Amino acid sequence: MPVSMSRDEVLQWLTANGWSPDWGIEEKAREFVSEVVAESEKEGFSTIPFDAAVRFISSYGLLKLTHPSDPESKLITNPTGGYEGDFSEIAELSQELGKRLFRVGYDLPDGGIFVVAEDGDFYCIHHTGAYHLGSDEFEFFNNWVKGDLQSV
């Protein structure tokens, strides 16, 4: 597993996985956000979108990022993909942290759920606990690749 990736290496990894600097999927991102809000309300929780979530989804949504040293491990940047009961866990972590969270993706095969906070911090909710993955998208991607998850 790589020890760490620089910002340029993260960009190269994203590009190798289909991303480009002009990726912007603003219209699809709005659809995703609406779908996540509707899903959360159906589960009895009210998820409210905020700038950091919409910006991340617009810039990186719909990617299937393959781990550089484990082709079976994938980070999927689709906020509509998740599992039953996610919103309960997201609400619990949100209350614990004292900040709003929005689901932005998940990983396979581990089944972790990725959320971004309104302040731009990224977290993973996994069956083993909740973890901080970085204070911006580059730290998030880098820490996922190197497996650096700081317990919350």
Q: What is the pLDDT along the chain (152 residues), one digit of tens a residue?
A: 456 789 999 999 999 999 999 998 989 988 999 999 999 999 999 899 999 999 999 999 999 999 999 999 999 999 988 777 889 999 999 999 999 999 999 999 988 999 999 999 999 999 999 999 999 999 999 999 999 889 99
Position 96 in a domain: yes
Position 1 in a domain: no
Residue 47 CA to residue 90 CA, distance in Å, equals 9
Q: Computed from CA positions of residues 7, 13, 17, 18, in that sequence, does the dihedral angle turn out positive or negative?
A: positive
Position 137 in a domain: no
Position 2 in a domain: no
Residue 146 CA to residue 109 CA, distance in Å, equals 16
How many domains does the chain fold into?
1
The residue segments making up the domain with residue 96 are 7-131+142-151
Q: Which amino acid makes up residue 130?
A: A
Position 136 in a domain: no
pTM (2 decimals)? Answer: 0.93
Position 84 in a domain: yes
Residue 7 CA to residue 21 CA, distance in Å, equals 13
Q: Which helix (H) or strand (E) element contains residue 59?
A: helix 51-60
